[in-house]
Structure 1
Amino acid sequence: MQSLIGTGVALVTPFKKDFSIDTEALKRIVCFSIDGGIEYLVVLGTTAENATLSFNEKEIVIQTVIEANNGSLPLVLGVGGNNTAEVVQELKTRDLSAFAAILSVSPYYNKPTQEGIYQHFKAIAEASPIPVILYNVPGRTASNMLPATVLRLANDFENIVAIKEAAGDIVQSMKLIKDKPKDFLVISGDDMIALPMVLAGGAGVISVIGQGFPKEFSEMIRLGLNKKPDEAFKYQYLLSDSIDMIFEQGNPAGIKQVFMSLGISENIVRLPLVIVDDLLAKRINDFVIKINNQV
């Protein structure tokens, strides 16, 4: 899965003021990411607000991204949930021919044991016709997929090819990198520690901020992969304030404000999320102006 090395971005779903999907804005975001040097695109991840999208709306998002991408970059589709049978059914019935892999989150809310997590992903691996990227994000799922469980899955199933590791724990990430099978990819799910993870041997990042500043962020990761830390950290420190800001009042409210400041899309989110407050919006806007004046 060499195509998944580097920077992937977890695309937002832009909305119009009436809360309908803004397909033209989504196309602009896809093209902005492609033009900025991103390596691949992730469709219908958490950042896409897929929890508030209907089945038909998800289909609209998928088809819009496929059309806008036009074969330029590999695509990864978010297919996950806390009902194993439902995820398996989706994998058996959905057309996945346009996608290089699926990204599947560890079951949320149920708080399964490590054995339950293993059995969940065993069922997914056996059902999926394309490679599987595990997604560990304890801050959202309320359970941590431990390295031993990840490594067990990686060794037992050839089509489990990577993990998006978003525990925010560099030590846990290093344990995965140290003990993983040779071709298994450890991908950062945290923008702030993506570069340290890459320098430790990680394969890149699935990023939120990367779609707002694709040229700078993807270049940082490429420099990290090429073991040029001094050059890479210049970008890290250039962007670090923006990473803090976009998560300060929730994701994707922050990154949508970045797109608003860039003139690409509206800063509309669906309840229960709300847009960032005026003070944060001004800080984000000021940062966008500053970056555009520096590069």
Structure 2
Amino acid sequence: MEQLRGTGVALVTPFKADESIDWNALEKLINYVIDGGVDYVVSLGTTGETPTLSSEEKLDLMKFTFEKVAKRVPVVVGIGDYNTRDVVKRLETCPLDEAAAILSVAPYYSKPTQEGIYQHYKTIAAASPKPIILYNVPGRTGRNMTADTTLRLAHEVENIVAMKEASGEMVQCMQILRDKPKDFIVVSGDDALALAQLACGMDGVISVAANYFATDFSAMVKAALNNDYPAARALNNKMLKGFDLMFSENNPAGIKAFLANRGLVENYFRLPVVPATDGLYQQIGDYLSKY
């Protein structure tokens, strides 16, 4: 799964004032990030406000993304839920021929045990026609997937090929990197920690910030993967304040404020997400005017 190395971008879902999907803006964003140098795109991640999308909208978004990406870069599709049977059904029925892999978040809300998390992933991996990327984000799911559980899945389940690690626990990340199978890909899910995690041996990043910082973020990751850390540090330092602003209130409110500032999307959401406050929006504008 070498195509998962480098920079992946978790695409936002642009909306219009009436909360319908803004297809023109999505096409513009897809072209913007690909032209900026990202290595692959992720459709239907949580940054895309997928909990507010209907089943029909998710299917339309996936097909639209395949069409507009037009095989210029790989497309990873997000399919995850706390209902294992529902994930299996979607994996068996969605048209995934053009997908490179499936990004599947650990079960949320129900807070299963580590054995429950293991059995969930083992079950969906058996049903999936595409390789599975684990996604550990305890800040959203309410349960950390431990290094032991990740390594058990990586070593025992053939169709699980990679992991997006967004726990923020650096020791846990290093344990996974030390003990994983040689060909198992580990990517960061924390934009602000990505450089440090790349230095520890991660293979890339699935980024929110790359929606806006497509060129600089991709260049930072490439430099780090080529062991050019002076160049990577310079780019990371340039973006660091942006990361702080982007996530200070909510994701995707922050990244959409950045994108709206550039005219790539309109600053609309579906509840319960609301736009960034006026104060944050002003801070973002001030930062970008000097970027």
TM-score in same-fold range (> 0.5): yes
CA distance in 1, matches of 2:144, 2:278: 35
CA distance in 2, matches of 1:197, 1:185: 13
* Residue matched to 1:114: 114
Instruction: Please say which of residues 278-287 and 112-121 is displaced more in the overlay.
Output: 278-287
Give the superposed CA RMSD.
0.8
* Residue matched to 1:129: 129
* Residue matched to 1:67: 67
Aligned-residue identity in percent: 51
* Residue matched to 1:212: 212
Letter in 2 for 1:219: A
* Residue matched to 1:187: 187
- SS of structure 1 residue aligned to 2:191: coil
Cα offset, 1:63, TM superposition: 2.0
Letter in 1 for 2:160: I
CA distance in 2, matches of 1:59, 1:22: 15
CA contact (8 A) 2:257 2:276 kept: yes
CA distance in 2, matches of 1:178, 1:263: 43
* Residue matched to 1:163: 163
> 1:239-273 CA distances to partner (integer Å, 9 max, x unpaired)?
01111111111000010011111111101111111
Cα offset, 1:158, TM superposition: 1.6
Cα offset, 1:288, TM superposition: 2.2
Is 1:8 the counterpart of 2:8 in the alignment? yes
CA distance in 2, matches of 1:71, 1:141: 32
Letter in 2 for 1:50: T
Cα offset, 1:139, TM superposition: 0.3
Is 1:31 the counterpart of 2:36 in the alignment? no
* Residue matched to 2:57: 57
> 1:178-225 CA distances to partner (integer Å, 9 max, x unpaired)?
110000011100001111111111010000001101000010001110
- SS of structure 1 residue aligned to 2:38: coil
- SS of structure 2 residue aligned to 1:178: helix
CA distance in 1, matches of 2:72, 2:44: 18
Cα offset, 1:146, TM superposition: 0.3
Number of residue pairs matched?
Answer: 291
Instruction: Please say which of residues 260-269 and 62-71 is displaced more in the overlay.
Output: 62-71
* Residue matched to 2:281: 281
- SS of structure 1 residue aligned to 2:26: helix
CA contact (8 A) 1:262 1:288 kept: no
Give the TM-score normalised by structure 1. 0.97
CA distance in 1, matches of 2:196, 2:290: 25
- SS of structure 1 residue aligned to 2:237: helix
CA distance in 2, matches of 1:273, 1:215: 27
* Residue matched to 1:43: 43
Ranges in structure 2 where 5+ consecutive residues have no aligned partner: none
> 1:126-153 CA distances to partner (integer Å, 9 max, x unpaired)?
0011100000000011101001101100
* Residue matched to 2:177: 177
* Residue matched to 2:262: 262
Letter in 2 for 1:237: N
